[in-house]
Amino acid sequence: MSGFIATSEQADLKTKQSRQLLRQQVRQQRQQLTLAQQDAAAISLLARFCDHKKIQAATSIALYLSNDGEVNTQQLIDWCWQQGKNVYLPVVHPFSAGHLLFLHYQPHTPLVKNRFGIGEPKLDVRNVILPTQIDIICTPLVAFDDTGARLGMGGGFYDRTLQHWYQHFQANKKSKPYPIGLAHDCQRVTAIASEHWDIPLPEIITPSKHFSFKLKPQL
């Protein structure tokens, strides 16, 4: 039995190291994109975003403020406002570790920096909405593969947010919030060593392509 445990621990360590190395490599790639490349990516992503039927039909969309070389989402936010959609941004939960709150975001909403240095709406319980009340959540990611596997920054924030959706989406195709990943093309990788808590994505939009994946139900 001890030999099995040791082997299992070694496998877990190998997976953890593989994921961390992949994070470093892909983050470096997107951070090295030039300003011109970032601008072109944002314009191309906007075109695909606006053309998405689910996004067109949605009245409430959660987005995020770009950071760490992520494709710029500001034009997506501006378009949603122009279309009269309600936009929500994630806020790190003040006392429930690893969880997110989602707050209504308007052009003049005051922003504060969270502990990761990312802007988020100043916490006001009057502006909080449950994730299940949001039509679409656009998620950031570090890397993805051709099965829809998503590798985030390692905090598990979006995996926890999407757990309810993943448990119910097979039985209820209208289960909310429907997740769509946003990424640069360089964030697509051959394979991701997934952990049991990882929530895959049904769709990912990059500047050059709209990916759709057939997800397996959670065991």
Residue 157 annotated as part of some ligand binding site: yes
Residue 152 annotated as part of some ligand binding site: yes
Cα 92 off chain centre by = 14
Of the candidates 73, 68, 29, 57, the one whose C-alpha atom is nearest the C-alpha of residue 154 is 68
Q: Tokens representing 91?
A: 């806020």
Residue 156 annotated as part of some ligand binding site: yes
Residue 178 annotated as part of some ligand binding site: no
Residue 45 annotated as part of some ligand binding site: no
Q: Provide CB contacts within 8 A for 88, sequence distance 6+.
A: 60, 61, 62, 63, 102, 103, 104, 105, 129, 134
Residue 106 annotated as part of some ligand binding site: no
Residue 151 annotated as part of some ligand binding site: yes
How, if at all, do strands 86-92 and 178-182 pair?
unpaired
Residue 126 annotated as part of some ligand binding site: no
Residue 115 annotated as part of some ligand binding site: no
Residue 65 annotated as part of some ligand binding site: yes
Of the candidates 217, 118, 209, the one whose C-alpha atom is nearest the C-alpha of residue 173 is 217
Residues making up the binding site = 19-23, 65, 70, 150-158
Residue numbers in the known binding site for ATP are 19-23, 150-158
Instruction: Indicate the annotated binding residues for substrate.
Output: 65, 70
